[in-house]
Amino acid sequence: MRAKFDIIVATDLNRGIGKNNQLPWRISTDLKYFRDLTSATPVPDVTNAVIMGRKTWESIPAGYRPLKNRVNVVLTRNADYSLPQGVFKADSLDAALTILSRGPVDRVFVIGGGQVYAEAMQHEKCGLLYLTLVRHQFDCDAFLPDYRGFFQLASCSEVMMENNLEFCFKVYQFNFPEYLAALE
């Protein structure tokens, strides 16, 4: 099984991540950051992978599915759920990691949605949390679980502005021992 995976997400000030299965904002700089981070590899013969829930998969416009230059794994408990050739299906995060351990995959990113983030944030193989903070409050119906007690801020970009929205890129390190202590 893979050594670790990272999480990538964009949230508003209330940890909102979506409304009606869509992003409530449009920030092309963040979309480019997501694409570049989840696609870049140190050598040409390997690729990165993205793990997502079914709803996240369905929220990606059809013309962009599967996400290019990445191995795509969709989590669903529906054994009959149909996916295009080359896209993998798994019924759990651990099953997805097992599938990915069989191929030349460099980095693995969990890209949503809320339920998948909740499972990933409690997993011992979680490494980094790449969080784009949109400094605004939106009317959201999907949220990132509270991460603040178990992740430590490692870096933060300068605040940027696009479409009248301030945002910044933050990177957090998962602190698994603190997480375990909180469970006791």
Q: Which residue has the tokens 């939106």?
A: 138
Alpha-carbon gap, residue 53 to 77, rounded angstroms: 10
User: What CATH number matches the domain at 5-183, 3.40.430.10, 3.40.50.720, 1.10.3210.50, 3.90.870.10?
Assistant: 3.40.430.10
Find the DSSP H helices in the chain: 28-39, 54-59, 93-100, 114-121, 176-183
pLDDT tens-place string over residues 27-57: 999 999 999 999 999 888 899 999 999 999 9
8-state DSSP, 78: -
- For the entire predicted model, the pTM comes to 0.93
Q: pLDDT tens digit string along 63-102? A: 999 999 999 999 999 999 999 999 999 999 999 999 999 9
